[in-house]
Structure 1
């Protein structure tokens, strides 16, 4: 008997987010600036609420269904369709920005709206960029262009996946590290890493670094070309808007990076090499709503173990540490450090059986988690006891 994906009819919901700006535009015609807050409120208000009501879904596709499910083109076309909706939303938002109609409240909502759509598009780019088909890899760069984060294509695949859950990885957050300290470390570290990785690849092939074959440069060129086209269409007034929404977009990616591996560390073996990546090295969530909206990014452990698996085939594991909520909720928690520490630090420590030294610990926060040895008791002679 053929297995049927019970979520097959739900996956098109992933295309709702890039359509929200159009709802915002229509509402703004009636309600004014407040209409441009439809997308932020839906993503960080309604989706977390629905996540709680819909609950968990821990079902895995059977191994016998893998080949058919992996090859079903219905699923990949859903990722393709995100891009035209993304770019149409970007064009509409640019037109509204230069129209002069939004007031300060509307301008902030417009930047957040566009940044959220292009930030979630990075997740679509993530799904496409892991595949072997050249068309999907190019579509990945196109999805990254509005956020100006084309180097993610190189760094994520060849850097993060190699160094994940180690102190050397700029995209793996450390226990005790706040998101606001993590942000500059990962943004600058990922950019430098991408350039080093691509430069090394080209030099090994005896090619020049400054070439159209440079995956970082050609991805950045797409962002530049997009900026030129939008400036030609809407005028120079659109440039501050494009810059601000790009920062929102790639910051949304980085806050997701922050929560995906927070405090988790692969241990070194006797030879000094890190153990292989397994389900213990990523935080997972089986919240069905956010998994549908994010092409199942929250089944992150299986993704790291099997990067070529398409989203519809990803599995959940009992050994994976579980987040207490879906990504939409955890993003809000992550940007408030005291709340984040209260929610997550004890989970990291419990994951390592109370041995915090096994965690990926921020050196600046060591004193908070590692107790100092008790002071030595003086002997009668005045010397320290052993």
Structure 2
């Protein structure tokens, strides 16, 4: 077991972030307040508050507040995970998310928003539904059947129900390998990664369910197919909204879902960029370790994302609850929280300039140890050789 950062004496330890986690659970409620203000006042500027917070305020607060590398004492972890407060904070997200989505759908049809207002509404509702995938991620890894069921419900507004299957049974098995569609390669731009991960994850999820059901004597179109179950939830939700609001709501639902899904995928792009597990002579990859995920301990973005950025411990212990995830010193560290890297990832030259040297440093200049985009290998090898001269 890799050594985590030393923790303080457990005798007087308390979770100083206990109530701050409400930022995660109440995030869709804060966005919903902006939708209410826009609806009541007619000022579409309210619909741009959430995107501004996501792309500028949270990164700024990350920079101002710095990092938190503290870990809970191991003697306190069992009690910390058993504390129902943290589960209540997690579940709080769900009704607020659906309230925001339904109100946003109504406003898209009846609000008379104009193009600027509709764009802000898509970024607000789609942004929260993209963040909701992280809530689904936290719920989907747990053993309780109701939490896993609720995970699929949370994925319904963003129409990404197959994530429940692919992430748990595909990504966690293949992470940081060339076979994983959700692990970005060194020299691969986000815009090359996006279609590869969307299509690859969809194919993988379907194949995983096909294999599971075949083992039980069923075909892939059986009602027990968890992909079909999750997609059916989206169909029910969208059909209900169309029946209520008319076909005019469907373009809004699809566009916000696409925006939310790409938020997940840009985070996937960040989380494992260029990192590779070594393959043994038997063809098996080494066990996933902290050094196979990019971590960030920036305070504010972690509080909004249920500690998602402590990604190394999550891959080592997927069932560990968010409040108990730990920092590991040997895990490669990002220069910012995820929120501060979203826009950078959209601009390949900026991303490569920021992250390629960090991958190089992590592997001591040995390109063969990194997960490299095939078409970029010769270019990167020449550049790395030139830097040594």
Tell me whether 1:3 sits opposite 2:5 in the alignment.
no
CA contact (8 A) 2:171 2:180 kept: yes
Per the alignment, residue 381 of structure 1 pairs with none
Per the alignment, residue 380 of structure 1 pairs with none
1:172 corresponds, among 172, 183, 186, to 183
Q: Equivalents in 1 of 2:111, 2:36: separation in Å?
A: 16
Per the alignment, residue 250 of structure 1 pairs with 261
Deviations 1:311-331 (A, max 9, x none): 011001010000000000011
Q: Which has the larger radius of gyration?
A: 1
Q: Equivalents in 1 of 2:136, 2:371: separation in Å?
A: 28
Cα 1:372–1:250, aligned 2, differ >3 Å: closer, same or farther? closer
Tell me whether 1:353 sits opposite 2:351 in the alignment.
no
Deviations 1:254-293 (A, max 9, x none): 0000000000000112322111000000000000111111
Per the alignment, residue 138 of structure 2 pairs with 127
2:313 corresponds, among 299, 302, 307, to 302
Q: Equivalents in 2 of 1:27, 1:94: separation in Å?
A: 15
1:24 corresponds, among 11, 30, 34, to 34
Give the 3-state SS of the residue equivalent to 1:241 in structure 2: helix
Q: Equivalents in 2 of 1:100, 1:91: separation in Å?
A: 13
Deviates most, 11-20 or 314-323: 11-20
Unmatched segments (≥5 aa) in structure 1:
375-386
Give the 3-state SS of the residue equivalent to 2:365 in structure 1: coil
Deviations 1:289-318 (A, max 9, x none): 111110000000000000010001100101
Query: Structure 1 segments of 4 or more deviating over 3 A?
Result: none
Per the alignment, residue 92 of structure 1 pairs with 103
Shift of 1:45: 1.3
Matches within 5 A, 1:46-65: 46-65=57-76
Shift of 1:224: 0.4
Tell me whether 1:228 sits opposite 2:239 in the alignment.
yes
Give the 3-state SS of the residue equivalent to 1:324 in structure 2: coil
Per the alignment, residue 8 of structure 2 pairs with none
Matches within 5 A, 1:282-361: 282-361=293-372
Deviations 1:126-157 (A, max 9, x none): 00000010100011000000010000000000
1:71 corresponds, among 62, 66, 82, to 82
Cα 1:101–1:280, aligned 2, differ >3 Å: closer, same or farther? same
CA contact (8 A) 2:288 2:315 kept: yes
Q: Equivalents in 1 of 2:376, 2:156: separation in Å?
A: 36
Shift of 1:210: 1.4
1:102 corresponds, among 95, 102, 113, to 113
2:228 corresponds, among 194, 212, 217, to 217
Give the 3-state SS of the residue equivalent to 1:371 in structure 2: helix
Per the alignment, residue 383 of structure 1 pairs with none
Per the alignment, residue 53 of structure 2 pairs with 42
Unmatched segments (≥5 aa) in structure 2:
1-10
Give the 3-state SS of the residue equivalent to 2:181 in structure 1: coil
Give the 3-state SS of the residue equivalent to 2:43 in structure 1: helix
CA contact (8 A) 1:48 1:329 kept: yes
Tell me whether 1:153 sits opposite 2:164 in the alignment.
yes
Q: Equivalents in 2 of 1:203, 1:168: separation in Å?
A: 23
Relative to the length of structure 1, the TM-score reads 0.94
Deviations 1:219-263 (A, max 9, x none): 000000001111112111100000000000110000000000000
Cα 1:66–1:373, aligned 2, differ >3 Å: closer, same or farther? closer
CA contact (8 A) 2:136 2:154 kept: yes
Deviations 1:48-106 (A, max 9, x none): 11111111000001110111011111111111110000000001111111014101100
Shift of 1:339: 0.6
Per the alignment, residue 139 of structure 1 pairs with 150
| Aligned CA-pair RMSD | 1.5
Shift of 1:117: 0.6
